[in-house]
Amino acid sequence: MDSIIVTGNGPLNGQIPIAGAKNACLTLMPATLLSEEPLTLTNAPRLSDIKTMTALLQSLGAEVTQMQGGQVLAMSSHDINNHTADYDIVRKMRASILVLGPMLARDGHAVVSLPGGCAIGARPVDLHLMALEAMGAELDLREGYVHAKAPLGGLRGGMIDFPIASVGATENALMAATLAKGTTVIKNAAREPEIVDLADCLRKMGAQIDGDGTSTITIQGVDRLSGATHPVVTDRIELGTYMLAPAICGGEVELLGGRIDLVGAFCEKLDAAGVDVTETARGLMVKRRGDRVRAVDVVTEPFPGFPTDLQAQMMALLCTAEGTSVLEEKIFENRFMHAPELMRMGAKIDVHGGHATVTGVKRLKGAPVMATDLRASVSLILAGLAAEGETIVNRVYHLDRGYERVEEKLGNVGAKIERVSGT
């Protein structure tokens, strides 16, 4: 199993290109199941999760071809010959549940295993199922699989009112509703940029969608969708992660392709901590104003609030801040697993339920640490960049699910970082 070795090496300077969004791409790929015509995605990230979704789509009969080094995905679902998403693939990634809505909408039936993914909370799929039932689907859960059937004549438009805003459930409902008969209204819909990106792609395919980016989305079903070519939106989580690198190490780094509208609440916290973020012709420039950042309090919230997927990385920064910060995690109930690993590096962190109190220290110390999930793994790398001595991050297979070429991107701006293969 691979490990990454990071040695504190002072300020970082240069440019880091930001990839297309993993979470957007994993949502856009199942949209190919809605049409017999080709769907091509550009600016696709080159990640293990994309390979997993590719394998899942291919297992259903879709054709998926990677071009231009994997940054272009050419897909065609003209011959879907299998409607069972098997456990052996689905267990690797929660986004696999997103094939359920498209298959049900297009062909009227689907069998999908309950999914897996990072161990950061329960994250049930009940909201996905509630949305499909509102469109007339008949669902039966048995032996770890969702057996779904559409009523005679296909899914029907319906009123979906989510008790909480769910990104995945909104995406599944949105895709299914494009081919449902009549009008579907999704209330308390998620507002994330990935939702807007999906809606943009579906509109290119011929869908009639209004209100994406707000809490109420209205979809008028159509008889069929066509093919399209669509660029994957910039990955706001990768963007925020690399914005923290010069914040924690010093220096000045330009994030190519970065957009403030994708990370507005995050930028507000960086400014309060003493980090300048300015727009450039090609992205965003990030520079720390002083020798150390200031403590700030953070509460994770659905978009446009502070993203839960940047909480672990922000904690790494605040471990070296002047003063005491409080981080409140309101999205997932088990997302402070990185705290004990940061404490191995000398961080002062006290976790009580959904709150973590972080008292900054002047310098962290390198140590062997273990990644517990995707975002935790990169938070430990960030901490290692600012630590004295060598940090060895083990179990980095989590990292490869969400970040492409981390060593190359950080190494190009002056970080001392290398990957070593395990035995």
- Please give the Cα distance from 108 to 33 (Å, whole number): 12
**DSSP classification of residue 181:** B
Q: Is 309 annotated as a binding residue?
A: yes
Measured torsion, CA atoms of residues 95, 98, 100, 104, in degrees rounded to the nearest 10 = -170
Q: Is 331 annotated as a binding residue?
A: yes
Q: Is 23 annotated as a binding residue?
A: yes
Q: Cβ contacts of residue 261 below 8 Å, gap of 6+? A: none
Q: Is 123 annotated as a binding residue?
A: yes
118 catalytic per annotation: yes
- HSE on the CB side for 196, CA within 13 Å? 13
- What is the distance in angstroms between the CA of the first residue and the CA of the last residue of the chain? 7
Residues, the chain, total? 423
Integer Rg of the chain from CA: 22
Q: Is 270 annotated as a binding residue?
A: no
| Catalytic-labelled residue, pool 118, 249, 267, 319 | 118
Q: Is 125 annotated as a binding residue?
A: yes
Q: Is 401 annotated as a binding residue?
A: no
- Please give the Cα distance from 383 to 387 (Å, whole number): 6
Q: Is 124 annotated as a binding residue?
A: yes
Provide DSSP, 335-348.
--TTHHHHHHTT-E
- Tokens at 127, concatenated: 């909201």
Q: Is 22 annotated as a binding residue?
A: yes
Contact 179, 154 (CB under 8 A): yes
Q: Is 126 annotated as a binding residue?
A: yes
User: Binding site for phosphoenolpyruvate, residues?
Assistant: 22-23
Q: Would you name the residues annotated as active-site residues?
A: 118
User: Binding site for UDP-N-acetyl-alpha-D-glucosamine, residues?
Assistant: 94, 123-127, 309, 331
User: Binding site, residues?
Assistant: 22-23, 94, 123-127, 309, 331
